[in-house]
Structure 1
Amino acid sequence: MNMQDKPILQVKNLTKQYGPGCSICTNAHEEVLEKNYCPHCRTVYACRDISFDVYQGEILGIVGESGSGKSTMMKCLYFDETVTSGEGYINPYKDGMVNVFEQSSQQQRFIRDTILGMVYQNPMLGLKMDFSSIGNIAEKLIAAGDRNVNRMEARSKELLEHVHIPLARMKDEPKKFSGGMQQRVQIAKALSNNPPILLLDEVTTGLDLSVQASVLDLIKKIQRELGISMIVVSHDLAVIRMLANRTIVMLNGTIIEQGLTDQILEDPQHAYTQQLVYSLI
């Protein structure tokens, strides 16, 4: 990876708060907050000043405990949530010259449909459980502007095979599938529009270990073959160790440490990261 290259995604000072904030917490931020919560006005600062870059073909890991803000950040990147403030630039969209967070909802939908893929922790957020699996994939293709039924069917079959779903079951609804199979259908759907950037939010949580391993293998294989840039969110450092080139550690809505994954695992600087790493050994 050539660091001189322009990042495919740049996020600058992304902030997401729930609540208006008050003179106490906006002025004296850190001191008055309990973790990321203001006891005076009850505002929750889910993400505070998050900045990072993702490069072409790289997997960026984001690790942190529940409530650290990592899933909120992913929802902001996929426009499921509106940011409070901050900038986001995606190179394939208008040459990375416009802040995507300020684009119209129509433009944001276009970015979702053509540039981003998202795999949610809960497959019910990413799939229509009563649609056939092939129908779920076609839905994303239609959103991206495809109208050719034969081409969509061929692409859907190719993707289901790619994620090891037997074609004999392509007409089955995801509600009839196991958790691991549902995640694989979600991955197929997310890949259908050839997105340059794939967002993966806790995709192995709640799966058996053997199923987790097969989903992680699949993600690595896809990344290798297609050269997609990925952001992988997990509270599990073992997942991050297996997938990510670089890692960001989040705590209470802020980034407390970032660097090459090996570096963070071998020589963690922050007390919280040290605790995370030593619990893994």
Structure 2
Amino acid sequence: MFMFDKPILQIKNLSKQYGEGCSYCQQEDAKLERNFCPVCKTVYACKNISIDLHRGEILGIVGESGSGKSTLMKCLYFDEEITTGEGYLTDYFNGKENIFTQSGQQKRFIRNSLLGMVYQNPMLGLKMDFSSISNIAEKQIAAGNRNVEQMVDRSNELLDKVNISIKRSKEPPKNFSGGMQQRVQIAKALSSNPPILLLDEVTTGLDLSVQAAVLDLIKTIQRVMQISMIVVSHDLAVIRMLADRTVVMLNGQIIEEGLTDQILEDPQHAYTQQLVYSLL
């Protein structure tokens, strides 16, 4: 149903390179070593990435380590500056302003109010020595909330939603297991009611039973809150469980995209075929 709506997020021709580039690698038919220029050593982490995300949809991005998917997420959350490209959010000036050309202040507003991020490494998303409730309140303060009672209530509500006992709300995340830390991150990301949640390899390094619990939580949140998500993983089993549509990345570029069932049942690109068959 969401496929016919105007996308909540549109990314057009996003590129991120590390290095200046040279006359060799900037040729249309340049032969790079994966996404690396052998002449000037420039790395093309993302090259002409275009994606649409619809309201209430989970978009999966899958690819091996170094394919550019985590760099893309960092660019979307303004952790990294893009090299070129455009991005439009329906909930920001009705999708008429390129989010990547906005001022630092406006980018902070978008990041704090319209996006939520869950990092692979919880240390990037949480202050490990602060209490869990303080971590969640921090996002609300950044989004402009100054009502302490309201923030405490919201933080406790979210901890309950991610199955962490209120009794442990004053404990710092460093006391928690990896799975619990990810759940605190999810609660923090949701605390300002963003329409879009970005999840970067959130189950990597977790035990299988813990992975299953985190994935089930993500699916429940999406169903109940109708929040749009971009889920990045190198694990096609994670994408199979979560994603409505899937984008496959290799060497900084999109090589295949479509409905997740279609990608899994009839992969067209040789790399996607290899990924799918390794899952069987």
Question: What is the TM-score of this pair, normalised by structure 2?
Answer: 0.99
2:115 corresponds to which residue? 116
Secondary structure at the aligned position of 1:32 is classed as coil
2:129 corresponds to which residue? 130
After TM superposition, list the pairs within 5 Å mapping 1:70-81 onto structure 2: 70-81=69-80
The answer to whether the Cα contact below 8 Å between 2:2 and 2:55 also exists between their aligned partners in 1 is no
The answer to whether the Cα contact below 8 Å between 2:2 and 2:56 also exists between their aligned partners in 1 is no
2:3 corresponds to which residue? 3
1:201 aligns with 2:200: yes
Secondary structure at the aligned position of 1:3 is classed as helix
C-alpha distance in 1 between matches for 2:38 and 2:103: 34
CA RMSD of aligned residues (A): 0.7
- 1:178-209, CA deviations, whole angstroms, 9 ceiling, x for partnerless residues? 00000000000000001100000000000000
After TM superposition, list the pairs within 5 Å mapping 1:62-211 onto structure 2: 62-211=61-210
1:17 corresponds to which residue? 17
Cα shift at 1:4:
3.0
C-alpha distance in 2 between matches for 1:247 and 1:27: 30
Q: What is the number of equivalent residue pairs in this alignment? A: 280
In 2 relative to 1, CA 158–2 (structure 1 residues): closer, same or farther, beyond 3 Å?
A: closer
C-alpha distance in 2 between matches for 1:90 and 1:2: 16
Cα shift at 1:28:
4.0
C-alpha distance in 2 between matches for 1:133 and 1:69: 31
The answer to whether the Cα contact below 8 Å between 2:2 and 2:57 also exists between their aligned partners in 1 is no
Secondary structure at the aligned position of 2:25 is classed as helix
- 1:196-252, CA deviations, whole angstroms, 9 ceiling, x for partnerless residues? 000000000000000000000000000000000000000000000000000000000
- 1:14-67, CA deviations, whole angstroms, 9 ceiling, x for partnerless residues? 0000000000000145x4200000010000000000001000000000000000
Q: Which runs of 5+ in 2 are unaligned?
A: none
1:260 corresponds to which residue? 259
C-alpha distance in 1 between matches for 2:85 and 2:62: 21
Secondary structure at the aligned position of 1:25 is classed as coil
C-alpha distance in 1 between matches for 2:263 and 2:41: 34
The answer to whether the Cα contact below 8 Å between 2:82 and 2:100 also exists between their aligned partners in 1 is yes
Supply the AA of the counterpart residue of 2:24: I
2:226 corresponds to which residue? 227
Q: Which runs of 5+ in 1 are unaligned?
A: none
1:40 corresponds to which residue? 39
C-alpha distance in 2 between matches for 1:271 and 1:159: 42
Secondary structure at the aligned position of 1:27 is classed as coil
C-alpha distance in 1 between matches for 2:46 and 2:171: 39
Secondary structure at the aligned position of 1:184 is classed as helix
Secondary structure at the aligned position of 1:250 is classed as strand
C-alpha distance in 1 between matches for 2:112 and 2:7: 21
